[in-house]
Structure 1
């Protein structure tokens, strides 16, 4: 019996149809909130110290297409695929192929069996509350996994040739701020990269070398060695939409690229 793959999901590189599983429905819940507050005695209300996003849960219901194997064997195979004792993996739903969740099985795998047919209900815990684009910005090409309504312009690029002070347009097509990895290849000195109210400054020099500024991991490396001491440790962020990024320095003769995955709640 053929399996309908138009409505399913892929987990850790394996599509559910490979196990004879069909996705019936799924619900992506909002992230849990970590709220920091204090309740002062004698004063109405609370003092709010801010809110952070916690994990989020995705509820999934599937059914199993009957074949010659017993239902319990099928259930064991699926549980091994979703094995919760292993690290979280990429979870991609067919109807949103351009983004993924980082998730792992959470709680019980609940079966409802009728002979060799059955349904399974389970929850996936997203260790990262955001879903992220399947394609990195510096890998966007015409046949990338990107849906038609994505806010990417035909002439968008995330890599630039810099031979003097220049302001470039960097498109963050997601809905949330991102902290890019910036790769500078070539020669320059006293480099600064500004976006919004943040400016990254690198006081060292490059002489036909490569500098990698990883804002998420807060590392600065030249030739694989840390040169964080030459930076001001103020990593830029890119807001949703078009960001105007100014690159300045002396003896500028380099290529600068911005690599990130768009983020969504």
Structure 2
């Protein structure tokens, strides 16, 4: 059993990952309630996932005290940026190798130092509580060399489509969490619209342009420049499983492509 941080094994720093560790199956839950005087209980406005925390136990065995300090300092420096501030790294577990969490050092590293050994817990926090797929959707095909352990539908990598008339196509969200659809539209069309799951996003009429729609960031770039003035509607969401995308308009000569990063509870 082991972990990797940004693809690196802690053994590269002389550290031993101890098997008993804290890895919660879910993140913390943030409940949204309102207490109304005179009303029993509370008004429930639902709940949201909060941050996810990890405490990873490590040990180091080194008879040379100076060398021990050097190894620990190198490991801590690896977790920091050039200004000495905690940076985001990808945390993966060997029992879930196709997913990662974006984590940062969350608190002081406390330790127990013995004559020739040291043991400590590494406190990490994922401000985005979801696990994410290490491989994007456009790389997942039957012919690829990708090692995937998750239960997925293959050939989701067919992500570049030529659209010359109104049509529908299917996109598979292999994660367990809904995604806001991010995609690229290139070409020309009149009154171009994309719809799915009750939401419609309108690109309008354009000629020889490239639209980069980033659902996660709620942004649109037109020919590489951020511009929200020429589009309208709701950013499309992809629910877990198969999603039907409808493209409407006239005089269509489009190429539509996407590269999805699946999310998991």
Partner of 2:252: 252
1:240 aligns with 2:250: no
Measured in 2, the distance between the counterparts of 1:8 and 1:211 equals: 42
Kindly state the Cα deviation for residue 258 of structure 1 after the two structures are TM-superposed: 2.1
Partner of 1:175: 176
| Native 8 Å contact 1:89 1:104 kept in 2 | yes
1:90 aligns with 2:85: no
1:67-123 CA distances to partner (integer Å, 9 max, x unpaired)?
655433333222222337232222222332211111111122122333322322121
Partner of 1:55: 51
Partner of 1:31: 27
1:46 aligns with 2:42: yes
Partner of 2:213: 213
Partner of 1:202: 203
1:21 aligns with 2:15: yes
Measured in 2, the distance between the counterparts of 1:152 and 1:77 equals: 41
Of the three residues 57, 63, 77, the one matched with 2:74 is: 77
Matches within 5 A, 1:97-246: 97-141=97-141, 142-147=144-149, 149-154=150-155, 157-207=158-208, 209-246=209-246
Give the TM-score of the pair, scaled to structure 2.
Answer: 0.88
Measured in 2, the distance between the counterparts of 1:175 and 1:192 equals: 27
Measured in 2, the distance between the counterparts of 1:16 and 1:169 equals: 41
Equivalent pairs, count = 257
User: What is the RMSD of the two structures over their aligned residues, measured on CA atoms?
Assistant: 2.1
| Native 8 Å contact 1:8 1:94 kept in 2 | yes
| Native 8 Å contact 2:137 2:259 kept in 1 | yes
Measured in 1, the distance between the counterparts of 2:115 and 2:258 equals: 54
